[in-house]
Amino acid sequence: MSTSATALNAGPKTAMRRQSLVLSGLLSAASAMLMGSMLAIWLQFRANAPLRESSDGSKMLRDWLPENIKIPEVATNTMMMTIVITCIMVQWAVYASRRADSKHTTLALGVALLTQIAMINAQIAVYPQMDIGVRDSSYTTMFYAITATMTVLIVIGLAFTLVAMFRSIASRLNDHDLVVAHAVYWYSLTAIFAAMWLVVYVQK
Amino acid sequence: MTAIETNSTMIASTSSNNSGLGIFGAISEWLTTTSHQRIGRLMVSISLLWTIAVVAVGLLLGVERISSSSDLIDATSVPQLFSIFRVGLIFGSMAPMALGISLAIVPMQIGSQVLAFARGALFGTYLWCFGMIIVAVSYIGNGGPGGGDRQMVDLFLIGMGVVIAGLLIVSASIATTALTSRRAGLTIVDAPIFVWSSLVTSISLILTLPVMAGALIYVAVDHSYERSTFGATDGVNAWIGWALTSPQIFLFAIPTLGVLAQIVATMTRGKQPLRGGLLIGVGLTSTALIGTVTQSFYSVQLDTQFADFAKSLLPFSMFNALPILGVLIVLGLCLLAMKNEKAKPSASFVLAFFGVGMVLTGMTGNLLLRITDLKLSNTVFDEAVLVYVGYGIILSLLGAIAHFGPRIWGRKMPTIPVIGLGLIGVLGVVLAALPYYIAGFTDQPAARTTGSLGDNSQIWNSIAATGQAIFLLFLVAFIGLVFKSASSGEIADEEIFETVSANS
């Protein structure tokens, strides 16, 4: 008599439950659509602005950005660089989290948190430097609306970082998905910010 | 293949053990629940109240229109009532009802006990509900698009923002559930067709509602700081109006296709030929979102040079005709499946089938609306499109309640009353909308109740008002029937807990 028994095939593998990652992807898509629509309206208004002569009379310009408004480029460029640094930090967190290295994950997220606070600080600093009121012109109204919305998205990201960091401090070593989801959100936010930086702060 | 749904009578029996909590405990348990069925039922119940209110407003406007010299409503309130009819129908009724049914049903269909981010979904439901209350208060205080009270218009804009945030959170929860919580081995392609339609709807809303939010933020900042870059109060409609008409409203029709296909799948025990076609049909309807995010209407002029005609024909067809093709594919395949001799008739089919039929009629009307030579824009034809699509969606979603409801509360709904009421509902929709299709060709202006309303307007407006009254009665009667069935209907047998997905 044979001693071997015919075993049933193994059941299908349980589905991966990467809920945080999927949610983060959806949140990123929604954020991109939100800022995309605001940038599109911004570009439409800028394209439709009437033409005027430049101050030296040498060329015709779109009468969009009022002549007396100067955008503090040091602060805005620093913001762009800071968000890139944030990306590097969150990727470091992903790397450390994959190796279940709680200390480095926490450290990376902590540094990312500081850079995010720095970004918000820089954005808040931009407003008084420009010395403009929301009511001053179409440009200023739209400038405040679009930059404040971007800041809200950054604050949401900051809250996400705080959650990920506290969970890392609590040594939740199975939280790799959450750290990856956090990174996905920040990558998308970086792309969105880069688009806004180019349109609003560089091209003006 | 067969997907076994969670038997909710077991869940109900465990929850009934909590009867010692008392009334406040029971309310508190409902309000803080993480059960997908309860969250879904909460959302659907509130949306049904909104539906009754909105149809009552439609009836009021219909009666006011019968006589062009009528002063039943204060003249300054008329534009606000037209606006609340549109906003309420879309954001108070169609969208939350569709999402609420998805919340309750999708986890059951994919073999998941829980909803992904259930607390988030509950929070989203409350946000939506709170936002709609703010919107209603702003309308009462003469806010809303074109409203006379500046602060109330600001409140309206804030309310709409809150509503959008709530719907987005609920959509994200549904999409995440469908994508990540399926039982092992069940792919999204093999999942029941209603799951697929819910996924497509939620992703469509996640991609389109933020676009509306973006415009809303600009308008709100502009308005609250007393600027007129975006046209002040009158600019509200100009900037967010696209979200309150077609093709955006077609996105809310996607679940109705899932409902119909699901009911047919159950009737035919899964003998669905060309199942892939159903997925394509649902997907094609979602192409409306591309037209939506561009915030433009794509029309075509027939009486023009061929080059201009050809240039406008492509976007016109893509954004207005493709969704129709999607509906036709689903409808055709469902009818093909019904040829199966062993098909077991279902009362909910009547509601779902005619609901999709009404949506199709509305979409076809939209196609005509965008042909500029017909000069139908700014006439009541536009309102008829909304009524056909909106009421069609409601009809179909009530069919979903009749179909899925017994799986939740464990009691059957009576067949004959459901069919009878369904047919009355269909009659109501046709009478409420069809006269405005005809009146549109006689140039009856939209959103106006006095002055010159066109030839025979009294006849068409009387019929339309009668249709609104019939639909209102149908709604109240159907909701009463649902409550009666849920509390004292015949106990459902175990057979209904086995859902056959539409696999061939």
3-state DSSP call for residue A24?
Answer: helix
Query: How many angstroms separate the CA of residue A140 from the nearest CA in chain B?
Result: 10
CA neighbor of A93 nearest in space, from A108, A110, A103: A108
Residue B282 lies in a domain: yes
- B223 at A interface, C-beta within 8 A: no
A173 pLDDT band (50/70/90 cuts)?
A: low
Residues of A with CB below 8 A from B185's CB? 11-12
Range of the domain at B131: 29-500
Q: Which residues of B159-176 are buried (b: 16+ CB within 10 A; e: fewer)?
A: bbbbbbbbbbbbbbbbbb
Residue B91 lies in a domain: yes
Helices B95-109 and B254-267 pack at an angle, to 10 degrees, of 40
Name the one residue in this structure whose structure tokens are 């348990």.
Answer: B29
Q: Which stretches of chain B score pLDDT less than 50? A: 1-4, 6-17, 499-504
Taking only the tens place, the pLDDT of each residue in A18-74 is: 889 999 999 999 999 999 999 999 999 998 888 777 767 777 777 778 878 888 889
Structure tokens at B322: 């493709």
Cα torsion angle, B356, B362, B365, B366, sign? negative
Contact residues, chain A to chain B, C-beta under 8 Å: 11-19, 22-23, 26-27, 29-31, 33-38, 41, 45, 134-135, 138, 141-142, 144-145, 149
Residues of A with CB below 8 A from B203's CB? 26
Q: What is the structure's pLDDT at B211? A: 93
Beta-carbon separation of B225 and A135 below 8 A = yes
Residue B431 lies in a domain: yes
Beta-carbon separation of A34 and B210 below 8 A = yes
Residue B11 lies in a domain: no
Q: What is the structure's pLDDT at B500? A: 44
Residue B17 lies in a domain: no
Residue B401 lies in a domain: yes
* Through-space distance between the first and last CA atoms of chain A, rounded to whole angstroms: 86
**pTM, rounded to two decimals:** 0.90
Residues of A with CB below 8 A from B154's CB? none
Which of A137, A141, A151 to substitute to test the interface with B, most B CBs within 10 Å? A141
Structure tokens at A177: 């998905």
Structure tokens at B439: 């009146």
> Which DSSP category does B371 fall into?
B
Query: How many angstroms separate the CA of residue B298 from the nearest CA in chain A?
Result: 18
User: For residues A33 and B293, is the Cβ–Cβ distance under 8 A?
Assistant: yes
A41 vs B184, B208, B214: nearest CB:
B214
The rounded mean pLDDT for chain B is: 87
Taking only the tens place, the pLDDT of each residue in B443-462 is: 888 767 666 666 677 888 89
CATH number for the domain spanning B229: value is 1.20.210.10
For each of the domains in chain A, give its residue range(s) and CATH number, in order of start.
19-202 (1.20.120.80)
Taking only the tens place, the pLDDT of each residue in B375-416 is: 888 889 999 999 999 999 999 999 999 999 888 888 888 989
Residues of A with CB below 8 A from B212's CB? 37
Residue B14 lies in a domain: no
A10 pLDDT band (50/70/90 cuts)?
A: low
A-facing residues of B in 21-80 (CB < 8 A) are none
- The reply to whether omega before B247 is within 30° of 0 (cis) is yes
User: For residues B221 and A141, is the Cβ–Cβ distance under 8 A?
Assistant: yes
- B243 at A interface, C-beta within 8 A: no
User: For residues B471 and B162, is the Cβ–Cβ distance under 8 A?
Assistant: no
Residue A11 has pLDDT above 60, yes or no: no
A8 pLDDT band (50/70/90 cuts)?
A: low
Taking only the tens place, the pLDDT of each residue in A113-130 is: 999 999 999 999 999 998
Chain CA centroid to CA B298, Å: 23
How many domains does the structure of chain B reveal? 1
Q: Give start and end residues of each alpha helix (H) in A49-101.
A: 73-98
Residue B334 lies in a domain: yes
Q: Which residue of A has its CA nearest to B215?
A: A38
Residues of B with CB below 8 A from A41's CB? 214-215, 218
